[in-house]
Homo-oligomer: A and B are copies of this chain.
Amino acid sequence: MKDVASAAGVALKTVSRVVNGEPGVHPETAERVRAAIDLLGYSRNESARVLRSGRTATIGLVIEDVADPFYAGLSRAVEDVVIEHGCLLLSGSSGEEPGRERELVETFCARRVDGLIVVPAGDDHSYLRPELEAGTAVVFADRPPEPGIDVDTVLADNAGGARRAVRHLLEHGHRRIAFLGDDPAIFTAAERLRGYREELGELFDPRLVSMRSPSAVGVRAELDRLFGLDDPPTALFTGNGRYTVTTLRALERRRVALVGFDDFELADLLDPGVSVVAQDPARMGQVAAELLFHRLTGDAGPSQHVELPVQLIIRGSGELPAGSI
C-alpha gap A83/B108 in the complex (Å): 12
Q: A39-47, A137-145, A180-188, A298-306: which one contacts chain B?
A: A39-47
What is the distance, in angstroms, from A282's C-beta to the closest C-beta of chain B? 8
Q: Does A72 contact B (CB under 8 A)?
A: yes
**A47 & B45 in contact (Cβ 8 Å cutoff):** no
Asked if A56 lies at the interface with its beta carbon under 8 angstroms from chain B, I say yes
Contacts of A111 in B (CB 8 A): 46-47, 88
> A93 an interface residue at 8 Å Cβ cutoff?
yes
A4 proximity list for chain B (CB < 8 A): none
Q: Please state if A130 and B41 are interface contacts (CB–CB under 8 Å).
A: yes
Q: How many residues of chain A have a CB within 8 Å of chain B?
A: 50
Known: A46-B110, A76-B66. A91 touches B91 (CB 8 A): yes
Q: Is A230 an interface residue (CB 8 A)?
A: no
Q: Is the CB of A88 within 8 A of B88?
A: no
A157 within 8 A of B: no
Tell me if A46 and B268 are in contact (CB < 8 A).
no
Cα distance, A266 to B65, chains bound together (Å): 19
CA distance A111 to B112 in the complex (A): 14
When distances are taken between beta carbons in the complex, the residues of chain B under 8 Å from A84 are none
Q: A56-B47, A72-B69, A109-B43 are in contact. Are A245 and B266 (CB under 8 A)?
A: yes
Complex interface bits, A308-319 against B, C-beta within 8 A gives 1, otherwise 0: 000000000000
| Residue contact B83 to A72, C-beta cutoff 8 Å | no
Residues on B with C-beta less than 8 A from A56 are: 47
Closest to A248 in B: B269
Q: Is the CB of B79 within 8 A of A72?
A: no
Most buried by B among A73, A76, A270, A271: A76
- A217 in contact (CB, < 8 A): no
CB-defined A-B contacts under 8 Å, sample of 19: A41-B133, A41-B134, A45-B112, A47-B47, A47-B111, A58-B90, A66-B72, A67-B72, A67-B73, A69-B69, A79-B91, A83-B92, A88-B92, A89-B92, A91-B91, A245-B266, A249-B269, A253-B269, A253-B271
The 3 closest A-B pairs by CB, nearest first: A41-B130, A67-B76, A72-B72
